[in-house]
């Protein structure tokens, strides 16, 4: 389908410019007095019978998320699943202006709406050029995003109604929790889409509902040997808890994240919207039932479909053919794929240790380094060949790649990952064993699910300076790719969990049924 763009019409003149009154940062492009951006897709509405739109009115979902790669893709993928389940529904997907501009960098007007199989219209969060913690005040981010985002998203809802396409359901992710109140202001039912594990959701819920002290005490256990038993969950060791629950002081860097989560879970407890989780029952049934106060439904794993609109790249990468043709030259299950996501930079020390560890495996490797400097920048004096030689002889380093496509290739035998939930689910769905190197937020819990619950990988031990050493990396790769008993068992488990994951979203699967009910309003 051809891509079309159009300028966003001005907001109704009767609406006051509340964003400028609330946030003294000068005019921004999405100000109601200027231009309103937002992204829109067309999807079905979920909801209970009493929440269905009036007879004859087409269901219309408005999906709202933050401008992060790991948030945009699972929302677009769920949207694709929803439209497959019910092709008659409409969906509007709204991302922040900064994310919209990265998704569509060649627009004549950078905030224009885009019809690309789906309709994209950006809202503003007050940081249209992107949030930069080196420039902007982290402490004021939540309030500013809530004020500006609430104003501009409300305008989107009004404009869509004026076009004859009123929104009948809003779905939002956790960094835009304020969306729930916008939806309720307009009398529109809302559902929360949780894009981390159900186990993490349950831990956070209990943390903010009476168990915060015991969870924080366990998370901060200096021996790292403690565990905590929460309602509905198995015992969790301190190194299996999400890092945010260790925060106890406003002076700690992650305190704004803890504060945002506290607001989110307070609203969930008060308003009790339906909660959709990107997971599947076979993997996390206990966690899905661990919060009986809410209706929590598995709808995953949501994977990219055949439609180009089920994925988006906020980080542009090079030619897919280059690394896929390189993989074509490799034997089955012989290549180590390495990627640590988009959020945190990697230290020079960790880069060097990973490079030397990959060399020591004597296996081919494909490393998506996210634009970081390559190992050829090291002087090569630490033993082993230089990075440039290594890329030619053994491995390949790229700025970024189509991860789902790479993991589907027969040559990939292992995924060394930071254990972001999207990455872990993609690996599980493709039957690729995992070497888990968790860093922060939900990643320690994901690593626990990978190693202890599913048995599809091993967790690397972190050494001094928070670095995984070369010998430890080599050991872990051998543990999942070698010929020993442990590796054979892990590969067998990976195959079984691949089948369970795919079964969940296939016709008649548990997640597929939940999505179908969600789209039909049951």
Active site residues: 71
Which among 418, 513, 421, 415 is positioned nearest to 199, based on CA atoms? 421
Task: For residue 287, give every residue at least 6 positions away whose Cβ sits within 8 Å of its Cβ, in sequence order, or none.
Answer: 197, 198, 199, 201, 202, 232, 233, 279
> Can you tell me the distance from the alpha carbon of 267 to that of 261, in angstroms, rounded to the nearest whole number?
10
113-115 and 4-6 strand pairing: antiparallel
Helices (H), 362-507: 387-393, 403-407, 421-429, 443-448, 470-481, 485-505
State the angle between helix axes of 348-361 and 470-481 in degrees (0 to 180), rounded to the nearest 10. Answer: 40
Those residues whose C-beta lies under 8 Å from the C-beta of residue 194, and which sit 6 or more positions away, are: 173, 174, 201, 275, 276, 277, 278
Quote the crossing angle between the two packed helices 69-85 and 421-429, to the nearest 10°: 50
Q: Rounded to an integer, what distance in angstroms lies between the CA atom of residue 171 and that of residue 269? A: 17
DSSP-assigned letter for residue 43:
B
Cβ atoms of residues 16 and 31 within 8 Å: no
> Can you tell me the distance from the alpha carbon of 242 to that of 194, in angstroms, rounded to the nearest whole number?
15
- Residues comprising the chain, all counted: 522
Rounded Cα gap, residues 75 and 264, in angstroms: 18
């Amino acid at each position: 389908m051809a891509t079309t763009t159009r300028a966003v019409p001005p907001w109704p003149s009767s609406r006051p410019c509340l964003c400028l009154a609330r946030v003294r940062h000068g005019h921004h492009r999405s100000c109601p007095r200027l231009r309103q951006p937002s992204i829109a897709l067309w999807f079905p509405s979920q909801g209970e019978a009493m929440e269905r739109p009036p007879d004859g009115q087409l269901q219309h979902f408005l999906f709202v998320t933050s401008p992060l790669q790991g948030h945009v893709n699972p929302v677009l993928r769920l949207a694709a699943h929803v439209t497959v389940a019910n092709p008659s529904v409409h969906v509007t997907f709204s991302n922040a202006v900064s994310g919209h501009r990265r998704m569509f960098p060649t627009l004549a007007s950078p905030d224009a709406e885009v019809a690309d199989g789906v309709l994209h219209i950006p809202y503003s969060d007050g940081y249209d050029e992107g949030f930069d913690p080196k420039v902007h005040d982290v402490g004021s981010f939540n309030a500013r995003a809530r004020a500006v985002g609430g104003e501009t998203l409300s305008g989107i809802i009004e404009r869509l109604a004026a076009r004859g396409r009123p929104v009948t359901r809003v779905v939002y992710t956790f960094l835009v929790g304020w969306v729930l109140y916008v939806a309720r202001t307009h009398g529109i039912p809302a559902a929360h889409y949780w894009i981390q594990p159900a186990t993490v959701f349950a831990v956070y819920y209990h943390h903010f509902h009476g168990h915060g002290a015991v969870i924080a005490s366990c998370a901060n256990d200096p021996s790292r040997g403690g565990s905590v038993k929460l309602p509905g969950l198995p015992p969790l060791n301190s190194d299996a808890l999400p890092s945010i629950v260790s925060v106890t002081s406003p002076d700690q860097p992650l305190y704004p994240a803890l504060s945002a989560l506290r607001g989110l879970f307070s609203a969930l407890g008060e308003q009790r919207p339906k909660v959709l989780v990107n997971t599947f029952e076979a993997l996390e049934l206990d966690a899905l039932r661990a919060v009986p106060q809410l209706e929590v439904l598995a709808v995953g794993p949501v994977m990219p479909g055949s439609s180009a609109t089920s994925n988006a790249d906020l980080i542009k990468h090079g030619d897919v053919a280059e690394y896929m043709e390189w993989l074509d030259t490799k034997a089955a299950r012989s290549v180590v794929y390495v990627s640590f996501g988009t959020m945190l930079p990697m230290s020079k020390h960790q880069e060097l240790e990973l490079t030397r560890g990959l060399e020591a495996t004597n296996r081919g490797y494909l490393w998506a380094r996210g634009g970081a400097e390559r190992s050829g920048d090291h002087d090569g004096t630490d033993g082993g060949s230089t990075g440039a030689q290594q890329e030619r002889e053994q491995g390949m380093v790229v700025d970024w790649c189509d991860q789902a496509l790479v993991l589907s290739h027969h040559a990939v035998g292992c995924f060394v990952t930071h254990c972001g939930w999207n990455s872990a689910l993609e690996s599980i769905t493709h039957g690729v064993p995992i070497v888990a190197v968790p860093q922060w937020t939900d990643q320690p819990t994901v690593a626990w699910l990978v190693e202890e619950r599913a048995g599809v990988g091993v967790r690397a031990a972190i050494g001094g300076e928070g670095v995984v050493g070369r010998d430890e990396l080599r050991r872990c790769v051998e543990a999942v790719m070698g010929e020993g008993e442990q590796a054979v068992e892990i590969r067998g488990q990976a195959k079984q969990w691949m089948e369970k994951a795919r079964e969940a979203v296939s016709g008649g699967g548990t997640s597929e049924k939940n999505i179908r009910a969600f789209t039909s309003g049951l």
